[in-house]
Amino acid sequence: MSNFPTGWFYIQSKCPHKMVLDVSLDSLKAAAKVVVWPKKTKDIDNQLWMYDHGYIINKNSGMVLDVQGGILESDKQIIQYKRKMVEDAQNQRWYYREDGVIYPQTNPNLVLDIRGNWTKQGTVVLLYERKYEDNENQLWDLVPSDIADASSVLSPSKSSDEEDEDYAFSSASYAL
């Protein structure tokens, strides 16, 4: 169910604009907004992510994707935040489905969503009710950072639930 690649990757919208998840203003602060932004060619670390036992870690800050306020409900903003212990991290642990949705492990009906399907750079990313039609703003490709051609997309290859055992931390977190 995780279907995330190993190593650093971009989380790229399937919308025609192909923008990627980006921590606003290259922030290193907890609770910084996660937005969509055109894929950069330099100073890219705030747009790179790694998957580790359910957590999606930002390369620049070392913080993880988080639902603001910690409550899993629709229309909540996505931020970066300090990694919590597994038992307290229901708002920080994610799955990726082959159809392109990214959702909290505890609620597949809420997904990462570009607010209002806007195409403006800097648009915030929300947790929102999953749509089954007209939903490009909720669909994502995982693009390895070492692929020069931005149109190349990783096909999910691993789907082992065993990797999502309740680990609080792993060595991948410290490879930042």
Determine the 3-state secondary structure of 86 from DSSP. Answer: helix
pLDDT in tens, 118-172: 889 999 999 999 999 999 999 999 999 986 444 444 444 333 344 444 333 333 4
Q: Choose among 34, 42, 46: nearest CA to 10.
A: 46
- Side-chain-facing half-sphere of 113: CA atoms under 13 Å: 22
**In the chain, what are the domains?**
9-147 (2.80.10.50)
At 107, list the tokens.
Answer: 């609620």
Rg of the chain over Cα atoms, rounded to whole angstroms, equals: 14
Overall residue count recorded for the chain in this entry = 176
- Burial label for 145, CB within 10 Å (0-12, 13-18, 19+), is middle
pTM assigned to the model:
0.83
